[in-house]
Structure 1
Amino acid sequence: MSVSEFRASSLIESTEILCREWSRHKISTVGRVQMDLRFSQLRISKNLTVNRLSYGANVSIAPWDRDEVLLVQMPIKGRASAVYAGGEVSIDAARYGVIDVRRVERFTCDADFDALILRVRVDSIREYLEEVLGTPLGHELRFADDMALDSSAWHSWAPFAGMLGGLINESSTEFSPKLLASIENTVVSALVFGQRHNFWDEVRRPCALPAPRHVKRAEAYVLEHAGEMLSTKLLAAHANVSVRTLFNGFRTFRNMTPAEFIRGVRLDRARDDLLAGTHTVSVISKKWGFGHLGNFASHYRKRFGESPVETLRFVGHRCSR
């Protein structure tokens, strides 16, 4: 998937483009001025797009549709402001804006405003946060409205802002769908763990970071069916999540892949059998799904610091005494 680019010089055409690509909103200019809209968009997924936007005129924007999205505004130059019921947030190159379209009343920007903008659906952030906390959120998710220069949030977000800017600037590049899918998870994680929100204390509390339900369900299934044919796809279906979600869950909360977890359980079971001393290494290897004896021995040694044969010898020596 590559970057889509749009240009327009009239208010009507500019409004049509942005309402079609984003959501319906009213754009007004100060006086009878000509616009110079420049809009680029890279669609990462149905939940997330990376955009570059300049209007070329002083504009005021009011949403018609309260689309449930966040706009992380990262100006390259120029100034803007977001007006909420509780006050106004100034936005420029030294203060990024995190605009909640559900709540913002008006957005204004100067003629020289030029910004990189991440547009992400709140539902996707909410789902990720529920996975992290292992429980449904009890109330609406709200983020702090800005990231100030040299704040911890700014420094946490800066590497991802650079990555997003690099993506949108490669307008002629076709990006792999697998690459884009991994970027979505990375960006949502960066927001949840870098930008303050009303569940901040919960996600920052170590004891409040248990593995999500789908990871636990997959683990329980492996423990019960370790001797059967298993795959990441089968576990994802059992846990009722996508393969990518399951993979990311194991990576985040277990620091391993689902396949590595399966192998670890099978190696533990194989060691139990070897210590029982009732079967040969070959029989035990096949019993626990290791088709290649050499691979089984290699993984076994890495996990237990000795070969399967050495384990059997120890058992035989112990029994002969």
Structure 2
Amino acid sequence: MSSSSDPLFRYPVIRTSRVEELEHEIVDIYGASSFDVEDPAGLDVRGNFVRLRDTCLGFGAIGGAARIHFPESDFARLQFPLRGQGATRCGNRTVEVNASRPSLTSAGRPTMLHYGADFEHLFLRVKSESMARKLSVLLGMPLRNSIEFELADFSSQARLAGMRRLMDLIVAQLDDEESILVPAATCELEQAAIVQLLFAGRHNYSDLLEQSPREAAPTHVRRVEAYIEANWNGPIMIESLAEVCGVSARTLFRTFEKARGCSPMTFVKKVRLEHARRMLCRPDETTSVSRIAFACGFSNLGHFASAYRSAYGELPSQTLSRSRALA
């Protein structure tokens, strides 16, 4: 695979065949403590890496066999091998990894990544503080212990597949030269990835997550709706919604779905589309579909157009053209 078609190709950090340069970059960028390469002459390293607010996404390929050691860190790492064979060690446990077997390492544990020949992988790093905060909100209680993931054990293949598709979506958005991820959209994508990871990975709180949540009163739904209506043009975070209504996020989502037939985040999208339509119906000389899409929290024009047409039966450009003709 060429570097131009690698995931996150817009965020290159390493392109080298020199051991000295690799050593500097993996320590400085990735936080590794040491590494060893079996055949330095066959080294062919490609690395892409992007830091968001609570997560980091990366792609790595070395070409030859190598081992990279990481000290205890403040993040969990989900590793999706794309090709080849490798291994991951976290603490005292080691598992073989390949395209059909990803791994998930815990924060606060020394880790070793073994690259086999032609091994390539996509990975997601999530700050432990962000995961703990999100899990506490989902459970509706403080955490007594750190989150400890099973290294290669996941709750279901369907949830794991959903995690992979979500990562692919985020990567596609970041690599799309025709779209701009606005801060609100980035926050919500990160939030979705963290929540999906907590449900997809097996850990010491998984059994609690699977328990049925308590019901909430309808007033909680109205409070959340009011909050969304007042803050539709900024990031809408699960923590904020749970704080507004005073129940766990799982309770909120279940009750909201029961009362309104959709999730709170679907309601957020509905509200933003309504604001976009009002703007398109009252255009001025600076109004454009792209300007309104970005102002309403949509970073991808294609997704905005599709969602708008599903809601109103026409494209946003058609609404704008008709509104200008009537002005």
Alignment of 1:156-305 (within 5 A): 156-167=162-173, 169-170=175-176, 174-207=180-213, 244-245=237-238, 246-247=240-241, 249=249, 254-255=256-257
Code of the residue aligned with 1:178 in structure 2: it is A
Distance in 1 of aligned mates of 2:90 and 2:22: 24
Alpha-carbon contact 1:26-1:62 (below 8 Å) kept = yes
What is the aligned partner in structure 2 of residue 5 from structure 1? 12
Distance in 2 of aligned mates of 1:117 and 1:171: 21
Residue 185 of structure 2: SS of its match in structure 1? helix
Alpha-carbon contact 1:2-1:175 (below 8 Å) kept = no
Change in 2 beyond 3 A, CA 1:175/1:135? same
What is the aligned partner in structure 2 of residue 154 from structure 1? 160
Say which of 38, 46, 49 aligns to 1:30: 38
Distance in 1 of aligned mates of 2:21 and 2:81: 23
State the structure with more CA Rg: 1
TM-score, length-scaled by structure 2: 0.62
Residue 102 of structure 2: SS of its match in structure 1? strand
Residue 203 of structure 2: SS of its match in structure 1? coil
Alpha-carbon contact 1:3-1:172 (below 8 Å) kept = no
Distance in 2 of aligned mates of 1:162 and 1:2: 13
Distance in 1 of aligned mates of 2:107 and 2:41: 26
Alpha-carbon contact 1:95-1:147 (below 8 Å) kept = no
Distance in 1 of aligned mates of 2:79 and 2:88: 10
Report the Cα offset of residue 11 of structure 1. 1.9
Distance in 2 of aligned mates of 1:40 and 1:171: 16
Alpha-carbon contact 2:75-2:128 (below 8 Å) kept = yes
TM-score, length-scaled by structure 1: 0.63
Report the Cα offset of residue 151 of structure 1. 3.5
Code of the residue aligned with 1:22 in structure 2: it is Y
Code of the residue aligned with 2:49 in structure 1: it is Q
Report the Cα offset of residue 27 of structure 1. 1.7
Distance in 2 of aligned mates of 1:136 and 1:118: 25
What is the aligned partner in structure 1 of residue 307 from structure 2? none
Measured against aligned partners, the alpha-carbon deviations of 1:12-46 in whole angstroms (never above 9, x if no partner) come to 22232232223242121114335222111233x23
Distance in 1 of aligned mates of 2:22 and 2:179: 25
Aligned length: 242
Say which of 60, 68, 78 aligns to 1:53: 60
Report the Cα offset of residue 204 of structure 1. 0.5
What is the aligned partner in structure 1 of residue 278 from structure 2? none
Alignment gaps of 5+ in structure 2: 1-7, 243-248, 258-262, 268-327
Distance in 2 of aligned mates of 1:74 and 1:194: 13
Report the Cα offset of residue 102 of structure 1. 2.6
Measured against aligned partners, the alpha-carbon deviations of 1:176-198 in whole angstroms (never above 9, x if no partner) come to 22221111110011111222111
What is the aligned partner in structure 1 of residue 28 from structure 2? 20
Distance in 2 of aligned mates of 1:23 and 1:121: 14
Change in 2 beyond 3 A, CA 1:171/1:146? farther
Code of the residue aligned with 1:160 in structure 2: it is L
Question: Given the alignment of the two structures, is residue 67 of structure 1 paired with residue 70 of structure 2, yes or no?
Answer: no
Alignment gaps of 5+ in structure 1: 224-229, 236-241, 261-321
Change in 2 beyond 3 A, CA 1:91/1:231? closer
Distance in 1 of aligned mates of 2:19 and 2:37: 8
Measured against aligned partners, the alpha-carbon deviations of 1:283-313 in whole angstroms (never above 9, x if no partner) come to xxxxxxxxxxxxxxxxxxxxxxxxxxxxxxx
Code of the residue aligned with 2:169 in structure 1: it is M
Code of the residue aligned with 1:122 in structure 2: it is S
CA RMSD after TM alignment: 3.8
Code of the residue aligned with 2:256 in structure 1: it is R
Alpha-carbon contact 2:9-2:48 (below 8 Å) kept = no
Measured against aligned partners, the alpha-carbon deviations of 1:37-82 in whole angstroms (never above 9, x if no partner) come to 2111233x23202211111221111124x21211111111011111
Change in 2 beyond 3 A, CA 1:174/1:18? farther
Report the Cα offset of residue 219 of structure 1. 5.2
Residue 132 of structure 1: SS of its match in structure 2? helix
Say which of 80, 99, 109 aligns to 2:105: 99
